[in-house]
Structure 1
């Protein structure tokens, strides 16, 4: 397997140059045949599927797991927020490890730790061990997403990258819905521990595949073209400094995109947490199997949205190139505007208020949640690719910052949605998601129109300091 070249800026460089917006056009794309790119894309998509599967697989089995561990469903729901928070900071841990030990070694190491945590969760006999191992497993989650998108950015040219990222994100977005879907089926016919043995098998497949497919990264200093590796103790310690990631929030265009991802993530995970408590009692369903099968609907919407959204973002980029003569990273953001302001708000309102007044039968929430999932992922596809392109020499730090904000919002949505529904009802709770989608859309619309000026102005201000 050919080596992937990952272009990075030394940690001493604090700001981007004025050419940052165009650097992505000049960074080398490793020439690989289509079949090799396809294999890399498939393998890098699998581990995010397994990691996100494990983050939500307990949703439809909460009562049974709580009974088996002598605790309550509320405790497990709240503790799952800890899993999302751990996923948010995972790249701040594994990113520096990747810098010191190499991307391939870090990728395999993270997969091994996640496998051991999953096996431990399946064997846990008390709630303390169960929660601790799940949180420890979360500390590997988003590293697979960040490193996977970095590999894709290294191996796919810009006009194909949106489609590749869309296919890559299929694993990331199907996993959260597939987890409770299979969990509901499993808990109906066997014990809850089987759920975690299944995810252990999925992670094991990903680990074995990574050993044979994930390429090492050659890290290059753009200015000197010299290979740079953090090998000294001081260099390794500096790599673990979270400020390397957090300082990039000073760029408004990047912060706006990250906040928009977070607001949509709140809607996504609040949507996935509650179905067993919403669907079963309203339609007099008694088996977790039914609420588990209900997750096929958002999974289908997520999958179609991320594939179509990635493709549409590439089409949007090509149209902008034809009309302007050159490409800007924010061009693809226009492809998600309809989702922010039309698809997600309308679908969320129909879903929430339809359940509130119990109209339309079971078909209405199924159709509306498919549409909502489609809209969410169409918007996500454009933003994920944009974040991977906006600072091509700092992709790892940019993506780490994105997932930090994104999963903080996911934790808040997952932990609060049931209490929020009990307090104000599902109709108004869904309306909050609509408000978040519109705010996210305004942030992205501002970034699409003024992102280049925002970044240039920030760079000039930083140079004066």
Structure 2
């Protein structure tokens, strides 16, 4: 099957500027014969190796933040603090992760993606060792925040690399496998119930060291050589740190709705992971970290299945719409695959999970099973949005992806800091019912993009006289 998909090369061109912003003629979106890009022509076995490397690094950078959640009471006890304080620290780390693109994006633009990618791995490796060796809470906070500032860059760079080497009809599957790394932390974090939490960071240190070796060996520099590239003057370097490079694409309604929906979905993800230990310990009188930590296997496995399945379904939607339009592919086509999970699977899973806990019915099995299906629904919805952000404006895809993660992790940080106090104020049921509303609102946003995404983008280009640039 892989060999068949390898032959389906789609022309990767930006959306053109039209005189009529609402013109619905799609003839120009049909692929034109053209030579394969340097990324598409990479042998399939090497593409798989590159995919493994970028997936490995998303696992390394994210699993420490989520895998420590089951051990929050033990960390609080060691540093003589409270779980609420650690929740705020985790929120700060998520904010740092969201802001990491403001640092590493400009570094990429000035010195190149490969240099920036490997430098970020080195920084993460050093901070992981520092966190593992922390002698007090202040050192723990400092090392965690510094490591957070490498955060989403690995995802931005990873999605950009995947978009460079995988054709659109298989790109969603590739993104699904990459995102498995970013959501596997809770399941792996079960090891903290067998040993000290510090082992998570020593493991992260080893993982990042291995990731550096693999990156140096297998990840190529796929950036296009640009003629008349500006000299690396101080003014040029400072201009690269202008945040408008990341926030500029928000002017497009379809891009804004995509990012906003990712933020809404992240609210549920981190509300679930942050609050689960305290909820289950209180409801079922659990005293063993091992028993309560086992809950994280349920959403962890659901995230894994949902990410992979969502990728396959989004690619299937792309191929379906290419046939329906006689060879025309639009970036938003793949979003059709996530409508069912946004409107049905995710909301139903959240409601069953939260209200069975609120009312004390169903014992432990029902909310655990509901969390599993909610996690599948979450990642099944996320995949299309992640891939869409890399396709909607190919000429500035790194900036678009970076903006998505800024919004996503700001919502995650707010959710992490607010969920336990909110549960204390209004209860588990109503707290997660708010997440249901967010999921349904996200579904409406995605439906709007699937129907009018291209028209909205053309309207902005016509309104402001913006000319799409080639990749």
Contact 1:18-1:456 within 8 A present in 2 as well: yes
* 1:436 alignment partner, one of 435, 438, 452: 438
Match of 2:111 in 1: 101
Q: How far is 1:353 from its partner? A: 0.3
Contact 1:347-1:371 within 8 A present in 2 as well: yes
Match of 1:235 in 2: 236
Match of 2:63 in 1: 53
Q: How far is 1:17 from its partner? A: 4.4
1:386-425 alignment, distance < 5 Å: 386-425=388-427
Match of 1:182 in 2: 191
What is the DSSP-based 3-state SS (H/G/I as helix, E as strand, rest coil) of the residue aligned with 1:276? helix
* 1:123 lines up with 2:125 in the alignment: no
Greater mean deviation of Cα atoms: 306-315 or 16-25: 16-25
Distance in 1 separating the partners of 2:341 and 2:347: 8
Distance in 2 separating the partners of 1:165 and 1:77: 29
* 1:43 lines up with 2:48 in the alignment: no
Distance in 2 separating the partners of 1:227 and 1:365: 59
- Unmatched 5+ residue regions in structure 1? 1-7, 10-14
1:299-332, Cα deviation, whole Å (9 max, x unpaired):
1111111111110011111111111121000001
Distance in 2 separating the partners of 1:86 and 1:204: 22
Contact 1:181-1:291 within 8 A present in 2 as well: no
- Cα RMSD after superposing both structures: 2.3
Are the structure 2 counterparts of residues 179 and 73 from structure 1 closer, same or farther at C-alpha, using a change threshold of 3 Å?
Answer: farther
Distance in 1 separating the partners of 2:461 and 2:334: 22
Q: How far is 1:142 from its partner? A: 0.5
* 1:365 alignment partner, one of 364, 367, 371: 367
Q: How far is 1:241 from its partner? A: 0.8
* 1:327 lines up with 2:329 in the alignment: yes
TM-score (norm. length: structure 1) = 0.91
Q: How far is 1:135 from its partner? A: 0.9
Q: How far is 1:151 from its partner? A: 0.6
What is the DSSP-based 3-state SS (H/G/I as helix, E as strand, rest coil) of the residue aligned with 1:141? coil
* 1:140 alignment partner, one of 150, 172, 182: 150
Q: How far is 1:179 from its partner? A: 5.1
Distance in 2 separating the partners of 1:281 and 1:85: 29
Are the structure 2 counterparts of residues 300 and 230 from structure 1 closer, same or farther at C-alpha, using a change threshold of 3 Å?
Answer: farther
Match of 1:208 in 2: 213
* 1:192 lines up with 2:194 in the alignment: no
Q: How far is 1:53 from its partner? A: 0.5
Distance in 2 separating the partners of 1:191 and 1:167: 29
1:189-208, Cα deviation, whole Å (9 max, x unpaired):
x3332222122222222122
Runs of 4+ aligned structure 1 residues displaced above 6 Å come to 23-27
- Unmatched 5+ residue regions in structure 2? 1-11, 19-25
Are the structure 2 counterparts of residues 53 and 310 from structure 1 closer, same or farther at C-alpha, using a change threshold of 3 Å?
Answer: same
Distance in 1 separating the partners of 2:433 and 2:281: 22
Q: How far is 1:70 from its partner? A: 2.1
